[in-house]
Structure 1
């Protein structure tokens, strides 16, 4: 499609991992439309991951509550966009896109909740007829880039730009000094909990992995995630002085700075994992019900650092487990498997 828009709105409000997967599309669009004003609509809680982005002109941080619906629509309409791109692909995002007043509204033909009904132009993903299952195996990064290609962009480089402020580096340095970390320490960040319980490898296994790894010379565990006193106490009781507990302390944008300082990240399928991948930090990750081909660590969604179970019911993509042996896809992955891969990466240095 050949157009020359002056004002572009990208709608991708959540979640954090999904926003990261859309970053290369922003770069492709900026390359395609170097003079355009580009705005990104994002939920307030995730807005800071887009701060200072050189490919963006504006971050439109919004609250999607019903009470603010009219003011949100007004904020969009007054900006007079001539191209709106819906990368969220849901009924609400499609509705906002169409009611924006933009003459061109682009989204996925395979969008959910009837969202394609709102678009003036629908992007058909390159799935052969009768092989819709391939959509399940197409990575989110590549799906998003299909929209940029539809608009005439060349998508040769997958760039994930994340903020890295001096003030955040100073905060991380202050945490490390307070924790007694020295230059010879090797740091392993652990993100043991996600917002979706079905994706969580058992907490006690994370603790066992941490306990095994701190026996390696100069290794310390950096615990991250949303504040959870029970999780913190569980780790502190086993790890003791080998633990740097940053649960509930890190802002979203500080994670990218933190991951520049650690040697390894061990995580479930979660936003910290995708931030680590974007920063090029070595990872070990456990995937249960979700499909790593579609939402796994991009460019690294196959390999020994990504652990999955061979059981036939995974990946299922469900929010509740339907297996009689609850979460067998996760529980069948052993502590020794994770420890082995972590040790290998620590020894190799990458």
Structure 2
């Protein structure tokens, strides 16, 4: 590191120590946004006087808006909102006079917005031409596997060596009340154990077969007397629900499509959740509900750093071709080979662990 860069780093550390604001940006994908929260916690712990703002698209911006670790959320305009909305966003960002801006996506749009903030110190990746929009680039070593650890590595530039903390999403009492009203209206018996599932997902290589979810739901109802609550993701309309009903039957409660905050509140009322690798899985963990995440082509080591924090388990089969990180596959052995009984055992395990943790907390 040359002397000029060392002086810049020393200056930004002094500014943050005095309370200068920080901007953290991860523009897209709900699960990825949640996995950046440990970085925000680490900044706040090292520089308790500084305010942390967040820059993201929907639904990440909507999720983080009330969170105590984040002072303010700046939503990136939707495509149909026009250039004027982006100009207004940039004006608001520049008014904040950030001492530090961190781009955890480093795509062309995020790099431009970070540059446009005018922040004195801008951290980002090493990709192509856009690296010139940062004052300092970060090359994360290949042996850092976890996505959350990958983000935290950016802070090494500031001399912060932080460990991963569990992401936390706080649900308000009013949001919880609305969730209970919704579940009651669907006929869910709140006195029973309640297990949420979401058989959907953007990519087929991340979706456990609906028939497997149906068998899991039937087993949980038969063995535990559990209520099964089915989530529906963005764009998964009535046809999707009809297909689920054909497989799962009418013994489950089918939720309408919910906002991300309302989905978090419902998850917070459940006893456990079983979700494919994606936003719903991360959201369930973040609200503290015992969770089983189902993995196909992707890696738990990268996307599921949660098992050490409580009743959270990853379900996968170690087939020879995984992880392939592909979005398409002609055999899906990694998902079709995942036995329902194995997932059911994990669900029962996290339910028991969650009950034990709750009992210990109550007695304490």
Name the TM tier (shorter chain): 0.7 to 0.9
Query: What is the Cα-based RMSD across aligned positions, in Å?
Result: 2.7
The SS at the match of 1:276 is helix
Cα distance change of structure 1 residues 327 and 115 upon mapping to structure 2, 3 Å threshold: farther
- CA drift of 1:326 comes to 2.1
| Residue in 1 that maps onto 2:296 | 288
In structure 2, C-alpha distance between the alignment counterparts of 1:115 and 1:302, rounded to whole Å: 39
Alignment of 1:175-214 (within 5 A): 175-214=182-221
SS in structure 1 opposite 2:162? coil
1:36-67: CA deviations, max 9, x gaps?
33221111332221122222221101125393
Structure-2 change in CA distance of 1:214 and 1:231 (3 Å)? farther
Distance 2:24 2:350 in 1: 37
**Alignment-derived partner of residue 25 in structure 2:** 11
Separation in 2, partners of 1:252, 1:27: 22
Q: Which runs of 5+ in 2 are unaligned?
A: 1-8, 357-364
Deviation per CA, 1:329-349, whole angstroms, max 9, x where unpaired?
212212232233334444564
Alignment of 1:20-169 (within 5 A): 20-63=34-77, 65=79, 67-68=82-83, 69-109=86-126, 112=127, 114-125=129-140, 127=141, 132=142, 134-135=143-144, 138-153=145-160, 155-156=162-163, 158-169=165-176
Please state whether the residue corresponding to 1:194 is helix, strand or coil: coil
For 1:205 and 1:301, the matched residues in 2 are separated by 27
Deviation at 1:256, TM superposition (A): 2.9
Number of matched pairs:
336
Partner of 1:243: 252
Please report how far the alpha carbon of residue 188 of structure 1 lies from its aligned counterpart in structure 2 after TM superposition: 0.7
More helix by share: 2
User: Does the residue aligned with 1:214 lie in a helix, a strand or coil?
Assistant: helix
**Per-residue deviation, residues 64-121 of structure 1 (Å, max 9, x unmatched):** 5393244443343343323211111223212222232222111234xx4554332211
Partner SS state of residue 167, structure 1: helix
Gaps of 5+ in 1: none
Cα distance in 1, alignment partners of residues 207 and 129 from structure 2: 31
Instruction: Name the counterpart of 1:327.
Output: 332
Secondary structure at the residue paired with 1:95?
helix
SS at match of 1:44: coil
Match of 2:35, SS state, is: helix
Distance (whole Å) between structure 2 residues aligned to residue 149 and residue 269 of structure 1: 29
Q: 265-274 or 38-47: which moved more?
A: 38-47
CA distance in 2, matches of 1:147, 1:47: 22
Work out whether residues 217 and 228 of structure 2, in 8 Å CA contact, stay in contact via their aligned partners in 1: yes
Q: 2:326 — aligned with what?
A: 318
Equivalent-residue separation in structure 2 for 1:308 and 1:245 (angstroms): 26
- 1:192-225 deviation line (CA, Å, top 9, x unaligned): 1112232111122212221222212431100012
Q: Following the alignment from structure 1 to structure 2, what is the Cα–Cα distance between the partners of residues 11 and 141?
A: 14
Distance of 1:57 and 1:341 partners within structure 2? 37
Distance of 2:219 and 2:66 partners within structure 1: 39
Give the 5 Å matches for 1:217-228.
217-226=224-233, 227-228=236-237
Does the 8 Å contact 2:57/2:78 carry over to 1? Answer: yes
Q: Select 1:341's aligned residue among 339, 346, 363.
A: 346
* TM-score (ref. length: structure 1): 0.85
Identify if the C-alpha distance between structure 1 residues 77 and 347 changes in structure 2 by more than 3 Å, giving closer, same or farther: closer
Out of 243, 248, 253, which is 1:234 matched to? 243
